[in-house]
Amino acid sequence: MTYCVRPFITVFLLCLSSATLADVSISQYFGKKLNKINSFLEQNHEKAHQEPKLLMDFVDSELLQVWSAKNTLRAMLGSQRWSQLSKGDTQRLILAYEDTIRRYLFEILDQYQDQVATVEDVRLNSKGNKGWLRVNLKSQSFPDFNIDLKIYKDVAQWSVYDFSFQGISFVKMKRAFFRQTYDSKGVEGVIEILNQKNQKFKQVVMEASDE
């Protein structure tokens, strides 16, 4: 799964920004955002690797407005553990995980190979507030395949908090680590481990910004 997915995560993780959908359909809305990320990567993927701030600015202004670190963490920890967190702990955990998202994207950026992402299908539950957005990925270097983004609607705003490839969910893969770490070390332990993993990446970004 890692071999197939890692080169393509950037294509769809960076593609989204927050908005009220109004009369625009979900597929049309996300299709426009995918076109935007396709264009950004085509024009900037090499430069962004050398100048990580370019990528980070794009992530902060686009991705983190719709990829819900909060909902991803809540799904990985489970509702019971999540309800035990104080407001301050919740915020610090979200900030640490947002750094993790930035790091993921930077680490896989050099694996981009001109792939193009397009919306293929949207499947919603009966209430119309949850569902899967199927994204098709095309590349001359790999066979075409689909990735499903799990989406959630809060009032009039949609967010993404999970993705699945061939039925394997990212959240399900990661939740054992988060739950076991939380149970043995508490939220401070989770935050500490995330910060340790992100430390080198943050230093690289800082040094590149100072050049």
C-alpha angle 207/95/60, rounded to 5°?
Answer: 65
d(CA 129, CA 153): 5
Question: At 54, which helix (H) or strand (E)?
Answer: helix 52-61
Rounded average pLDDT over 46-71 = 87
Task: Assign 81 to helix, strand or coil.
Answer: helix
Residue bearing the bigger pLDDT, 194 or 49: 194
Query: In the prediction, which pLDDT does 11 show?
Result: 56
Q: Which of 42, 49, 50 is nearest to 115 (CA)?
A: 42
Task: Assign 84 to helix, strand or coil.
Answer: coil
Neighbours of 180 (CB within 10 A): 12
Q: Which single residue is written with the structure tokens 């939740």? A: 175
2-15 per-position pLDDT tens digit = 555 555 555 555 55
- The highest-level CATH class for domain 2-205 is alpha beta
Query: In the prediction, which pLDDT does 22 show?
Result: 37
Query: In the prediction, which pLDDT does 20 show?
Result: 40
% of the chain with per-residue pLDDT over 70 = 87
Sequence letter at residue 185 = K
Confidence of residue 17 (pLDDT cuts 50, 70, 90): very low
Query: In the prediction, which pLDDT does 29 show?
Result: 82
d(CA 13, CA 94): 17
30-52 per-position pLDDT tens digit = 888 888 888 888 898 888 888 88
pTM of the model: 0.83
164 and 156 in contact (C-beta within 8 Å)?
no
Rounded average pLDDT over 18-26 = 51
Mean pLDDT lowest for which of 87-91, 187-191, 206-210?
A: 206-210
- Residues β-bridged to residue 117: 137
Residue bearing the bigger pLDDT, 196 or 201: 196
